[in-house]
Structure 1
Amino acid sequence: MIGRLRGTLLEKQPPWLVVDVAGVGYELEASMTTLVALPGVGEAVSLYTHLTVREDAHLLFGFAREQERALFRALIKVNGIGPKLALAILSGMDETAFIRCVMEDDVKSLTRLPGVGKKTAERLVIEMRDRFPHWEQSAAVDPADIATLPGGLRERQDPLADAEAALVSLGYKPTEAAKMLSGLEEGQSTEALIKAALTKRMAG
């Protein structure tokens, strides 16, 4: 099991990133919460990881915080929740927000996440509720603090198109992703657009 990687960040294209460790490039998939917390391309990075082994592939997932990885591992144990949906959930809200939704039976907020219908949200509340007592002192990052974290997504020629592609990769339909991005202030970075779109979606 690969539990942690420390090396140089080579690529960062949501939801993928590549980390060079002693000349070996590890390709990882990560949530938007982790991606916006990472330093710039070419800088040193340290990530907690989770390896999923399938018949057709070995999939490596990266997390900026151990707490996020712990929640990811708890999520994929829930019936009907795979790694892709778990990452989408972690991209839409951080650990603190998710725990609050579960403890307060806030099914409505959970259904705003891509791929989470009412039945899935209800199952999440039921199966996850008893797993959180020891997480009450969580050091999870509040969404309002994300803007203060270092680094950012590498800028490309069309931040809006990149942001839309990232949202689609997280499970949102193209039309839904476009709607989430509509009306947002122009001239923002890809990182800022994604964060604003997710915030808009959760508030809607």
Structure 2
Amino acid sequence: MIGRLTGALLEKHPPQVLLEVHGVGYEIDVPMSTFYDLPVLGTQVTLYTHLVIREDMHLLFGFATELERRTFRMLVKISGIGARTALALLSGLSVADLHRAVGSQDSARLVKVPGIGKKTAERLLLELRDKLDLAVFNSDHAASSTSESDILNALLSLGYSDREASWAIKQISSNTMVSDGIRQALQLLSKER
């Protein structure tokens, strides 16, 4: 299994990127949340990956964070949700948005994602209701994931976009307390505007 790749970013054609690792070019499908956060071509990039092997092809999916990859893996285990649908979900919703939609049982939010109909949204809400907290937010990095999630939610509630909030969180040390993380993120974001 290919779990993570680090290499030079050679091409970006949504939703696919080409990453060169020691002379081998890997075509990797990424959600738009990851795609928008990618640096300029030629820069070193690390992506957490998930390999899908089929009779006729091997597909490699990449994610900026371990949390996105865990969420993707949880989604593809749901009956009727394939890799492309899971990728579309993570392109249309951040992990925090998906968590909020499942927590509030908001099928209308899921239906806004292209390719997700009412029945699929209801199945997702039913399947994820009990699993999301355990699978996504409980891990050996639960404290940092939870604090990052809290910082993200605070920035979103202050009116920052998912992209801005995610960028700011990446600049902050993963073991930062929530209150310090919010303060540091606000300072970083105020310099960028």
Fold shared by both chains (TM-score > 0.5): yes
Report the AA paired with residue 44 of structure 1.
Q
**Aligned counterparts of 2:113 and 2:82: Cα–Cα separation in 1:** 14
1:146 matched residue in structure 2? 163
CA positional deviation for 1:117: 0.8
Query: Are the counterparts in 1 of residues 94 and 162 from structure 2 also a CA contact under 8 Å?
Result: no
Report the AA paired with residue 89 of structure 2.
I
Residue ranges of structure 1 left out of the alignment (5+ in a row): 151-204
Residue ranges of structure 2 left out of the alignment (5+ in a row): 139-145, 169-193
Cα RMSD (Å) of the superposition? 1.8
Report the AA paired with residue 8 of structure 1.
A
CA positional deviation for 1:78: 0.7
**Aligned counterparts of 1:130 and 1:118: Cα–Cα separation in 2:** 20
Offset from partner CA, 1:31-89 (integer Å, 9 cap, x none): 10000111111000000000000000000000000000000000001111001111111
Query: Are the counterparts in 2 of residues 75 and 81 from structure 1 also a CA contact under 8 Å?
Result: yes
2:104 maps to 1:95 = no
Query: Are the counterparts in 1 of residues 49 and 61 from structure 2 also a CA contact under 8 Å?
Result: yes
CA positional deviation for 1:106: 0.1
**Aligned counterparts of 2:84 and 2:39: Cα–Cα separation in 1:** 23
Higher relative contact order (CA 8 A, sep 6+): 1
2:24 maps to 1:7 = no
Equivalences, count = 150
Greater share of residues in helix: 2
Query: Are the counterparts in 1 of residues 48 and 64 from structure 2 also a CA contact under 8 Å?
Result: yes
1:184 matched residue in structure 2? none
Report the AA paired with residue 52 of structure 1.
V
CA positional deviation for 1:132: 2.3
**Aligned counterparts of 2:133 and 2:60: Cα–Cα separation in 1:** 28
Report the AA paired with residue 38 of structure 2.
L
**Aligned counterparts of 2:91 and 2:109: Cα–Cα separation in 1:** 14
Matches within 5 A, 1:111-150: 111-134=111-134, 135=137, 137=146, 139=148, 144-147=161-164, 149=167
Matches within 5 A, 1:73-88: 73-88=73-88
